[in-house]
Every structure is written in structure tokens, then in C-alpha cells.
Amino acid sequence: MREAEQVSALIGDIYDAALDPGLWVGTLEKTCNFIVGIASSLQSHHILQQTANFYFSWNDNPDYTKSYIEKYAKLNPVIVPVIIQTRVGEVSACLDFISLEQYRRTQLYKEWAGVQGYIDAVQVVLEKSATSYAGVAVMRHERHGPVDDVARRRMGLLAPHFRRAVAIGKTIDLHKVEAAALADTLDGLAAAMFLVDDRGRIVHANAAGHAMLDQGAVIRAADGKLTLTDTHAGQAVHRIFANAEAGDAAVGGDGIAVPLAARDGERYVAHVLPLTAGARKKAGAAYSAVATVFVRKAALDLPHPLETIAGAFRLTPAEMQVLMMIVEVGGVPEVAPVLGVSETTVKTHLQHIFAKTGATRQADLVKLVAGYMSPLSKPGG
């Protein structure tokens, strides 16, 4: 199968999994084979809980996954730089943030990754919150070598579709939706839902959608056509409708999360799911629809607390790594093997952190980070 055909089929699988979470494992297997890896997962890392959550995974060892969740997630030296240095939707590799030589010296590699033959991973951040980030990752085995340009490019082709599918999956609360009965199943959603044709005409709306149309603050039906009060957003959404008729891949990165401004100043976001391929095609054909539009209130789009800390005190990525390891792991002797560096190097970074933050003790650093990370505290409080 040609690469273009592989991509098209895989994108369709990704969107079908948004409606039926039971399809994620098979989709991750195909993703892993396409990118060339040994295992893959949809997972998140929780900074406050100092752990990870594997929502769906393929070909991982359950015992090692359990040990990673319980122990090694907080010992992963690339988590902090990933959060600080990568944007949502950006593709990266673990070895972008640490040299292979240093990586082989880390506790994570010696006790977990190396034992399984893992040498690198290609990943994309799908979303960030105040206390966590979620992403899709494909692990590379020693026989594959570090992540190469082909793996990066292929993950980049899939990245926007993973983002859209995961956002929609969260909107429908990860309940299995029978594609053939899509409209009936989604009628009870709290989020507004609209089925539209290639011209943008609304062919079906759920109860929340009708209520939103009646209010007219965000969306209106002008001669049956879905019209957004935010003109710029409306143009973006209608481009997606036009492209959707050509298939999933044609939608590309548009409409992953279209920001909408209501007349009263409230902020909303729209997600667009194509209905022209895969299991979703049945639902689209039943209503002559090419896409489903989900509209919900937007969460505050604030910088991640680690980004805020790094910016506020002008800490380098290496200094942020040491800061978080001091907070999560312990003192200098414990941090050095986690990062694969000497105790002298850790001490040097620690002195720079003290100088930049004004702290004099490690306990002060713990309090500083807690003030930024707690959702109930003000930054630095």
C-alpha cells in the first residue's frame, strides 16, 4: 500500500476511534507499524500526582507499564522539557531533550527502558492542562535506532487528526457511539452538536444545539445554514465543510479546536468531525451530512505552570529539570542518577536556581513550585 493510502486509511481509523474507544488499541497498532516502532500509547503525565495514565496502549508489557506508572514516570528526565519546550501539536523525540550518552546513564534507562530495548520515542503533545499533559507516543527499539526524519514526518501527518479525535472523544465523554445512529446517540450530549452538509446547511441538531441556535449568541441558522457570530471562525469552519467531502485527510489541521467569541463575550470552542469515510460514513449518508460540529464552552487557555515558573525566574531547561527532580525525587545524590549526570553538575544547577529564585533551602523550592502548581494558590503564593 502506498504511503498516501496508508495515511488516508489510518486517519479514518483515528476518527472512528473518537466515536468508539474500543478501536483505539487497533488504531495504535497501525500507527506503530506506520511510523515504525515497537509499542504505542495514548497517555498523560500528571505533575502533581507524579505519575502517568495509559488510556490505551498496544504491545507494551503490562508489568513494565505498571512500574512506569507507579515509579518511573517521576524519574523520566524528558517530561519537564517536553512540557516547557514543545507546543500542543508539535512532534518531538525523547532524544531531542537529552543526549543518547546521558540517557543511557539515567535510572530510567538502566532499570526500565534499556531492559525492554527501548532507545527513543516519537511523540506529539495533544493537550496541556495546569497539572498534566496528554500525548500519543510510539516507542523505538534498539533495532530501529533513534527517531529519524521519516518517523517525525509520519507522526506529523497524523498529529492534527489525533488532536481532533481526542478532543471530540472528551466532548462525548468516551462513550461508544454507534456510527449508524450517530444523531440519536448524541442527542443527549451537554455539548451542542450539529450535522451539516458540504454547503454548511444544518441537517440535524441535538437539544443543546437547538438551545444554542435559539439564543443566537454563538451560532445562528441563516436560511438553514450554520452561521457563526464570529465571522473569522465561521469562514474557517465552512472551509472544513467544503474539504470534508474530499475525505478525512483533506480536512488536515483545520478545525481541531476553532475558538469562537459569543456576543456576550463568552468564549467557546468548536470541533469538527468528518463523516465521509470509515464507520462514520453511514451516519453521514443517512443525513446527507459531511461533518459533525461540536460546540462547547472553552476552558481558560493559560500557560502551563512549569512554563510560568521557567519564564518568571528565567530558568534554563536544565535548571527546570533539576528543580522538578529536587521537588519530586529528593536531594542531589538522588537526582544525579535520575538525570544521568554527576552530582557536581546537579549542585551547579542548584546554585543557579537558588540565585535566580532567591531561595536558600530545598524546602523553599518545594514551597515555590507548590504555589504555582496548586489550582487554589496564586503563582508564587
Q: Could you report the per-residue pLDDT of 101-129, keeping only the tens digit for each?
A: 999 999 999 999 999 999 999 999 998 87
Residue of 176, 184, 177, 206 lying closest to 293 (CA atoms)? 206
* Integer Cα distance of 41 and 32 in angstroms: 9
Q: Within 10 A of 194 (CB to CB), how many other CB atoms are there? A: 27
Cross-strand partners of 43:
54, 135
Which cell numbers hold the place of 173? 465523554
User: Is 285 a member of any domain?
Assistant: yes
User: Is 380 a member of any domain?
Assistant: no
Q: Are residues 325 and 341 in the same domain?
A: yes
Q: Are residues 192 and 217 in the same domain?
A: yes
At residue 132, the pLDDT reads: 81
Q: Are residues 215 and 81 in the same domain?
A: no
CATH number (domain holding residue 151): 3.30.450.80
Q: Are residues 26 and 145 in the same domain?
A: yes
Please list the rounded mean pLDDT of every run of 10 residues in the chain (381 residues): 87 87 93 98 84 93 96 94 92 97 98 98 90 92 98 96 86 54 65 88 91 93 91 86 80 78 88 84 79 84 84 94 93 95 97 96 92 56 37
At residue 348, the pLDDT reads: 97
Cross-strand partners of 205:
194
At residue 189, the pLDDT reads: 72
The count of C-alpha atoms lying within 13 angstroms of the C-alpha of 290, restricted to the half-sphere facing its C-beta, is: 19
Domain-terminating residue out of 171, 201, 232: 171
Residue 319: domain span: 305-373
Q: Are residues 363 and 292 in the same domain?
A: no
Q: Are residues 284 and 358 in the same domain?
A: no
User: Is 83 a member of any domain?
Assistant: yes
Q: Are residues 204 and 153 in the same domain?
A: no
Q: Are residues 275 and 210 in the same domain?
A: yes
Q: Are residues 131 and 42 in the same domain?
A: yes
| Distant-in-sequence, close-in-space partners of 373: CB < 8 Å, separation ≥ 6 | 47, 48, 130, 131, 305
Distance of CA 323 to the CA centre of its chain: 24
User: Is 378 a member of any domain?
Assistant: no
Q: Which H helix or E strand runs over 306? A: helix 305-313
Q: Number of folded domains in the chain?
A: 3
* Per-residue pLDDT reduced to its tens digit, 258-280: 889 898 888 899 988 888 888 78
* Integer Cα distance of 369 and 87 in angstroms: 21
User: Is 44 a member of any domain?
Assistant: yes
Domain-terminating residue out of 297, 331, 352: 297
Domain-terminating residue out of 171, 205, 234: 171
At residue 289, the pLDDT reads: 87
CATH number (domain holding residue 350): 1.10.10.10
Q: Are residues 10 and 109 in the same domain?
A: yes
User: Is 265 a member of any domain?
Assistant: yes
User: Is 71 a member of any domain?
Assistant: yes
Q: Are residues 342 and 216 in the same domain?
A: no
User: Is 381 a member of any domain?
Assistant: no
* Per-residue pLDDT reduced to its tens digit, 279-292: 788 777 777 888 88
At residue 377, the pLDDT reads: 40
Q: Are residues 145 and 242 in the same domain?
A: no
